[in-house]
Amino acid sequence: MPDQRPLRAASAADGGAQRPRVQSAARTVAILLAVAQSESGLAPREISERVGIGRQATYHLLHTLQGTGMLTRNARNRYVLGLRVGTLAEAFGRQLAPAEHLAPLVRTLAQRTGETAYAAGWWSGEITTLCVTRGTNPVQAGEVPQGYAGNAHARASGKLLMAFASDAVREAYLERHPLTPLTPDTIVERAALDRELAAIRERGYALDHEEYAPGLCCVAMAFDSGYSPFALALSAPRERFATERERYLDALRELAKAPFSSDG
């Protein structure tokens, strides 16, 4: 997974979100996210540059984070996540399932667009549909049921999640899941899939033009610039998708950054 994207401390999301009320808290969170989004930890200088704060302030915050067990230094003297972050990760699954976090966004997407909306994510090594809300348009495309975990290579949400996964996770998934043809448009060659995944990483969203089912088109958007293991998506009949795609993308962009906006 790439780790060179800048992460500004002043705002956790673009698009006019209000500035955080407590700047030091926002900077602390930004440092944690920068370290979490790196492949093998970061040096203080790299953290300062990525978060966009001065060296002295960075060192003070790193000292606090290390003292509280949220960060530690590895053998290469780089900051990595500390053991206490495991408490947060465990609590996320224990207190509230991801589907409960994502369901309000999925319902809003379906209401705004009139199309069937989804959230999908990595779950126990599989790319799974976590929640679904049917649209309100009289003519609806067929939907992928909640809990479905097959044929990610042919689904917009599946391709997006593979695109932003680490190389190891993606390779392990593809070793277990052959590129089965579902329609004449399904990508079934690994080189073609790799090109498609690279294009998805570049633009930040994925498309499915009748790759999963004839007459069905889908679009999926990454949460948190692809660092989150979840995706938001919708499906529509081919003809309506062709005319409404930009409107769908606008709705997805707005909702995909909603959980990460600084005004909460």
Task: State whether 120 and 86 are in the same domain.
Answer: no
CA dist., res. 135 & res. 151, Å (int): 23
Side-by-side strand order, sheet with 116-123 = 126-133, 116-123, 230-237, 216-222, 205-209
Note whether 87 and 100 are same-domain residues. Answer: no
Average pLDDT (114-135) is 91
Out of 91, 125, 151, a domain closes at: 91
Asked if residue 183 has pLDDT above 50, the reply is: yes
Does the pLDDT of residue 71 top 80, yes or no?
yes
Q: Across the chain, what does the average pLDDT equal?
A: 85
pLDDT at 157: 96
Quick one: average pLDDT of 136-164? Answer: 87
Mean pLDDT value across residues 119-133: 90
Assess whether 226 and 118 both reside in one domain: yes
> Which of the listed ranges 65-69, 108-112, 254-258 does the model predict with the highest average pLDDT?
108-112
15 falls within a domain: no
Instruction: Read off the pLDDT of each residue in 184-195 and give the average, rounded to a whole number.
Output: 97
Flag whether 14 is in a domain: no
Are residues 141 and 72 both part of a single domain? no
| Lowest mean per-residue pLDDT among 134-138, 213-217, 231-235 | 134-138
Predicted local confidence at residue 163, as pLDDT: 97
pTM of the entire predicted model: 0.68
Domain end (from 66, 91, 116): 91
Please state the rounded mean pLDDT for residues 193-211.
96
Q: What is the mean pLDDT of residues 51-78?
A: 91
pLDDT at 160 over 60: yes
- Give the per-residue pLDDT at 124: 79
Task: State what percent of residues in the chain have pLDDT above 90.
Answer: 59
Nearest one of 71, 87, 75, 84 to 36, comparing CA atoms: 71
At residue 241, the pLDDT reads 96
> Burial letters for 210-237: b for 16+ Cβ neighbours within 10 Å, e otherwise?
bbbbeebbbbbbbbbbbbbbbbbbbbbb
- How confident is the model at residue 93, as a pLDDT? 58
* Whether pLDDT at 11 is above 60: no
Is residue 232 included in any domain, yes or no? yes
pLDDT, position 260: 60
Structural domain harbouring 227: 96-260
> Based on the domain organization, do 181 and 164 belong to the same domain?
yes
Residue 152 in this model has a pLDDT that exceeds 70:
yes
CB-CB contact of 115 with 234 (8 Å): yes
Cβ atoms of 173 and 236 within 8 Å: the answer is no
State whether 57 and 154 are in the same domain: no
pLDDT the model gives residue 264: 40
Mean pLDDT value of segment 5-22 = 46
91, 119, 142 — which closes off a domain? 91
Examine residue 118 and state whether it is found in any structural domain, yes or no.
yes
Q: What is the pLDDT of residues 73-124, one digit of tens each?
A: 998 989 998 888 888 776 665 554 667 789 999 999 999 999 999 999 988 7
